Structure 1
Amino acid sequence: MNRTLEHILPRVQKPARYTGGEYNAVVKDRDQVDTRVALCFPDTYEIGMSNLGVRILYGVMNEMKGVWCERVFAPWGDMEEEMRREGIPLYGLESGDSIADFDIIGFSLGYEMAYTNVLNMLDLAGLPLRSADRDEFAPLIIAGGTCAFNAEPLAPFIDIFSLGEGEDVTVELIELYRKAREECWTKEELLVAAAQIPGLYVPSLYEVEYNEDGTVKSITPTKGAPATVTKRIVQDLNRSYFPTKTIVPSTEIVHDRVMLEVFRGCIRGCRFCQAGYAYRPVRAKDPALLVQQGIESCKNSGYQEMTLSSLSTSDYRRLLDLCDGLQEWCDPNGVSLSLPSLRADNFSWNLMERLQHGRKTGLTFAPEAGTQRLRDVINKNVTEEDILNFCRTAFAGGWSTVKLYFMLGLPTETDEDVLGIADLAEKVYHTWREVTPNRSRGVKITVSTAFFVPKPHTAFQWEAQISREEYERRVKLLRDHMRGRSIAYHWHDPETSVLEAVLARGDRRLADLLETVWRKGAKFDTWDEYFNYDRWMEAFAECGIDPAFYANRVRDKDELLPWSTTSVGVSSRFLWREREQAYRGVITPDCRKQCTGCGADKLYPGGVCDAEC
């Protein structure tokens, strides 16, 4: 470890965040490495190390001969202050070397409010923020993750965006980089060639013009770049890399357990859900392989807890077989098994019996809306009877803690829909009283509401977000009608959701906003300790940008959207049809019951989705 680093670590919180050296971390001989990659997560160590995607890409790249991938996380304020004072640049955890000397720096973008941390990390590395100001061949700055599907607010800062799942395309990009370096290409030649790789979006190769009203007039590809860049997917999850020899953190993290990915995608088609569209089509793993990977992961890490990971775990067809196979090993070895992301319409007594083997940590379900009318609008495809049966099964099985998640501000929402949340919570309470085997233990029902944010590549991407004032009125209305000591109500603050709506559907002009607010001190904007809404409002005013233009405006069907150059494989025509269905209150069946013609099947050779998932 650097001696200066040793000197400052005793002065910061949680120094284990910055030391590296964890069990199963990959350390390679520099002399045997020709390409170095910094895999950056723009949040704290505890958050980044809980991200399964980061662990997968870390393993994929380190399996490549001659490639060394290291992890980099955003230092907390106390550590950043010490680093700047001592002149320590941002470094890779495995080697301690400055990432400015690496070949490729890649950012994982999971949420918009981390954008200021991306800029801060580039600055901590001693690199110019803007791609146009980085003339050197290396380091190449790339980014991926769900937010890359609207890359425009960060476009001036990033050289290449990777769309979709990165296992295959990351390898292809690294090999292209090696070829370009060996043949002494210019950076521009590398970017032009990268644009020809499916799934790679090079923003500098697109010219954007705007109308007088501020909307996008045209997006013109140059130098042979494709008009639309479509995401990449892993065709066969059974053959894809999975990190069974995972890094064991040296300090507590958010999800400190084995995470076993069951399948990708979602059959449901909730109209607000970006992940549901972005990860289509559904692809599942074989349960025998999952059992093997789960056991190996526990043996290689020493973890005593395992969780199944997916967007909707109870939609996995062979879930009971998988649970039985895992518990055959988990039970005698003292490993608990948990199943998040359960659906109310398929939570059965048989499944509950499997969960009885683990700790009763509470069950979570997201009805999203309080009335059946609004659940049909958003295509949630669950009924009140489903929800109450879910709770009835859980309470009869001995559970006494249930969390229910909703959104406020969904399209067409009325006060009746808002009050329906309180009514549903009351019915859940009475269900507990009817079926619980032990009233003396009491029950805890937690109702949480988030502020709806319209997201790109969803059926609601054209919608307006309601105003902050209207959201706060609806929160008060619901709070005033939430009764009962056993029911707790929590709501998300509106300020970050307003900014999220701006950034989620923003264009390249927001780059000036991001740089301005960062220079004012913005960072860690998902953390209460650092977030300052007034600072953002000052930056909007200085840049002459109206946040309502991005957040609170309905888009016309024919408006050219800033993210029109990127595709999740779901057609815009399908999304608009889903929007129309929403306003008619018509549900769309899930993909197992009927192909909805979204277009995701075209991502498969031969155009056939995995109907067995």
Structure 2
Amino acid sequence: MTDLWPRLEPLLASAERPARYLNHEFGCVYKPEADFRFCMMYPDTYELGQANQALRILVNVVNAVDGMVAERAFLPAAEFCDTMRAEGLPLFSIESCAPVAEFDAIGITLSHELVATNVLEALDLAGIPLHAQDRGEDDLFVIGGGPCSYNPEPYAPFFDIFNIGEGEEALPECLQAIRRLRAEGACRADILRAIARMDGFYVPSLYRWRDEEQAQQAGSWIEPVEEGLPTHIQKRVFEGFAESPGWEPCIVPFTEVVQDRLNVEVLRGCARGCRFCQAGMMYRPVRERSADNIVNSVVCGLAQTGYDEVSLTSLSSTDHSQIADVLTRLNKQFQGKGVRISVPSQRLDSFGVDMAGLVAGQKKGGLTFAPEAGTQRLRDVINKQVTEDDLFGAVDAAFGAGWRRCKLYFMIGLPTETDDDIKGIASLVQRAYDRAKKAVPVEQRGNIRMSVSCALFVPKA
């Protein structure tokens, strides 16, 4: 592998944040003896990508395989991309500062639609042919995954392979197949055929589009170009999630990143079934780690990283069947030690407020609740199983227990929405604010703050 550090180092003085491009962070893995090299790339800046849990998980599972190494790469800031192009410096990995194009495979997580152009920028900066059909026998394999891979066709011309679903088991299997087949002398086309026959993988070059009439008859817009390939791609599910340890090695960055804390995933999937929620559909079925697993993971993770804050992450952490036990034990474990525990998602009821109280202790900042729609009719349409009484009960409990700030999340542009639904948001917020004022002593009512966020509904295919 080419070492680009001698060419990179003189350019760092002109970079906006040089720490984005430095290696040897605490927790990095180096395996120079590995004969198969994989690069996991997040198509955005280091501050956003390094905080991504999927990147950490997938780097760890590949590094756990003998003879294989996973390194990380991020899209440089726009100003540094210009500098690199002017100097003829290609996109590089963090750990070994090697050209991404020299790896055997690259994985790109498609976390949201707006990274699409970033993916093309990264491939171009790396010197990798943009279109899969233009890549030759000596080029690396470009693998896509993440939420947007569930609707892969907009990205299909640029990827060799899509991992549909969860990658803890699927990604190592894919890379091991590439490694083995290359060692056996297989050509690129035969390797792609082998991957296409594996569960949870879509190889766009081996499928073609049907016309509208054929698609309606078959129930699918695509069909394989040869026999033996699956006509429908089933997502991969990591069945061993519940038994897997919540703590896994993580990198402590040199520079500040978003959500700069220890993250322990307590629950995967969501039983709520809100129709607008892409993640709630993608990560089914619901699986949860045990209370012992979570507590031990938090204790171990904080000790090994030096963080003083931990987030118990999931789509709905307060829906964990043992969340009260977990929070009680963690509060007892870290009492007086300056450790902050956060739960990023709260149920919109008094139980959610009780759990927030276990987290906050005496430090009551703000609470966030998500009614999503202003009227019960529209909440029923989107299957948001929350009533006005739930919201008012949560507000009464929160402000009665000492909270003075609250944020309410809504969406606009939902299917079947009318002007009355929009007006309902203002009405609901006003009534919630009135309930909050009644729940606190008269002399404290001037301290009450209730903010409202209205996001646009974005349909997901």
Q: With the length of structure 2 as denominator, give the TM-score of the two structures.
A: 0.94
Which residue identity is paired with 1:175? Q
SS at match of 2:71: strand
Aligned-residue offset at 1:173:
0.6
Show the counterpart of 1:316. 320
SS at match of 1:40: strand
Distance in 2 (CA, whole Å) between partners of 1:441 and 1:297 is: 41
Name the stretch that deviates more: 255-264 or 329-338.
329-338
Show the counterpart of 1:20. 23
Show the counterpart of 1:446. 451
Show the counterpart of 2:6. 3
Q: Report matched runs for 1:514-553 at 5 Å.
A: none
Q: Which of the residues 302, 307, 311 maps onto 1:307?
A: 311
Aligned-residue offset at 1:344:
0.5
Name the stretch that deviates more: 180-189 or 397-406.
397-406
Distance in 2 (CA, whole Å) between partners of 1:88 and 1:348 is: 51
Name the stretch that deviates more: 218-227 or 266-275.
218-227
Show the counterpart of 1:189. 190
Which residue identity is paired with 2:122? M
**Partners of 2:137 and 2:188 within 8 A in 1:** yes
**CA deviation profile, 1:124-146 (whole Å, cap 9, x unmatched):** 11011000000125411001001
SS at match of 2:13: helix
Task: Tell me, yes or no, if structure 1 residue 109 matches structure 2 residue 110.
Answer: yes
Q: Could you list the runs of 5+ residues in structure 1 that have no partner in the other structure? A: 457-613
Q: With the length of structure 1 as denominator, give the TM-score of the two structures.
A: 0.72
Task: Tell me, yes or no, if structure 1 residue 422 matches structure 2 residue 423.
Answer: no
Which residue identity is paired with 1:119? L
Show the counterpart of 1:134. 135
Aligned-residue offset at 1:174:
1.3
Q: Report matched runs for 1:204-223 at 5 Å.
A: 204-211=205-212, 218-223=221-226
Aligned-residue offset at 1:2:
1.5
Which residue identity is paired with 1:447? V
**Partners of 1:404 and 1:445 within 8 A in 2:** yes
Name the stretch that deviates more: 268-277 or 348-357.
348-357
Show the counterpart of 2:376. 372
> Which stretches of structure 1, 4 residues or longer, exceed 6 Å deviation after superposition?
214-217
Which residue identity is paired with 1:5? L
Q: Could you list the runs of 5+ residues in structure 2 that have no partner in the other structure? A: none
**Partners of 2:263 and 2:310 within 8 A in 1:** yes
SS at match of 1:230: coil
Q: Report matched runs for 1:118-133 at 5 Å.
A: 118-133=119-134
Cα RMSD of the aligned pairs, angstroms, is 1.9
Q: Report matched runs for 1:261-272 at 5 Å.
A: 261-272=265-276
Distance in 1 (CA, whole Å) between partners of 2:352 and 2:149 is: 37
Distance in 2 (CA, whole Å) between partners of 1:358 and 1:211 is: 61
Show the counterpart of 1:149. 150
Show the counterpart of 2:181. 180
Aligned-residue offset at 1:308:
1.0
Which residue identity is paired with 1:200? F
Relative distance call for 1:47 and 1:358 in structure 2 (3 A) is farther
Structure with the bigger RCO (C-alpha within 8 Å, sep 6+) is 1
**Partners of 1:392 and 1:435 within 8 A in 2:** yes
Identity %: 43
Relative distance call for 1:217 and 1:380 in structure 2 (3 A) is closer
SS at match of 2:210: strand
Show the counterpart of 2:291. 287
**Partners of 1:284 and 1:316 within 8 A in 2:** yes
Show the counterpart of 1:50. 51
**CA deviation profile, 1:370-400 (whole Å, cap 9, x unmatched):** 1111111111000011011112211122222
Distance in 2 (CA, whole Å) between partners of 1:455 and 1:34 is: 40
Aligned-residue offset at 1:60:
0.9
Distance in 1 (CA, whole Å) between partners of 2:356 and 2:452 is: 22
Distance in 1 (CA, whole Å) between partners of 2:264 and 2:356 is: 19
Relative distance call for 1:16 and 1:180 in structure 2 (3 A) is same
